[in-house]
Amino acid sequence: MECLIGLKFNDFVLMAADMSHLQSICVLKEDEDKMHQLSSNLIMSVSGEPGDTTQFAEYIAKNIQLYKMRNGYELSPSAAVHFTRQTLATHLRSREPYFVNMLVGGFDPNESKSELFYMDYLAASIPVSYYAFGYGGMFTLSIMDKYYQPDLNEKEAYELLKKCVNEIKKRFLINLSQFKVRCINKDGVKDLPNITATVKTAA
């Protein structure tokens, strides 16, 4: 029932995640941050079992920071994704698998390009231009199919995200009222205003 959205453009990546913490039929909180900053130009948004998401994301983030301290430079987004996938695949074949689905987005300053990767709990990893995890993806992928263009600027991309969130609010039974949004570009990671769904009702 959680929803993660990611879009890759020429100069930046835009990522959004709902802020609801759900347990069975209850909403426990509405200020959950499901995005974890792995490095100065890399974000991982995670959904799945609450304990697994926190533990796995923190483990990956700390190991990427350890790599930087040991070697003096940060992993590129694709290298970080390979490490994440290997870790997930190793645990999948043990008695302690992680049930987590992820979108990993970042900007590679050495290659001057943005990157976005889909990764599911079975450790399948695929580079994508845009994707949405969860039931929300059933309502948003068609919108991104129609309106996505790789050369959109930040303002246009944000408006596209708003279309997606409003469609989720309109069509989805579960109330995912607010989405946290972050932009990753050559200057690093910055927070954009949260998107609160607004649905126009017929008069």
For the chain, give every domain's residue range.
Answer: 4-196
**133 contacts 179 by C-beta, under 8 angstroms:** no
Per-residue pLDDT in tens (0 to 9) along the chain, 203 residues: 788 999 999 999 999 998 877 776 777 777 788 899 999 999 999 998 888 998 999 999 999 999 999 999 899 999 999 999 999 999 999 988 999 999 999 999 888 899 999 999 999 999 999 999 888 888 899 999 999 999 999 999 999 999 998 888 887 767 777 899 999 999 999 999 988 866 555 44
**1 contacts 134 by C-beta, under 8 angstroms:** yes
In CATH terms, the fold of domain 4-196 is: Glutamine Phosphoribosylpyrophosphate, subunit 1, domain 1 (3.60.20)
pTM greater than 0.75: yes
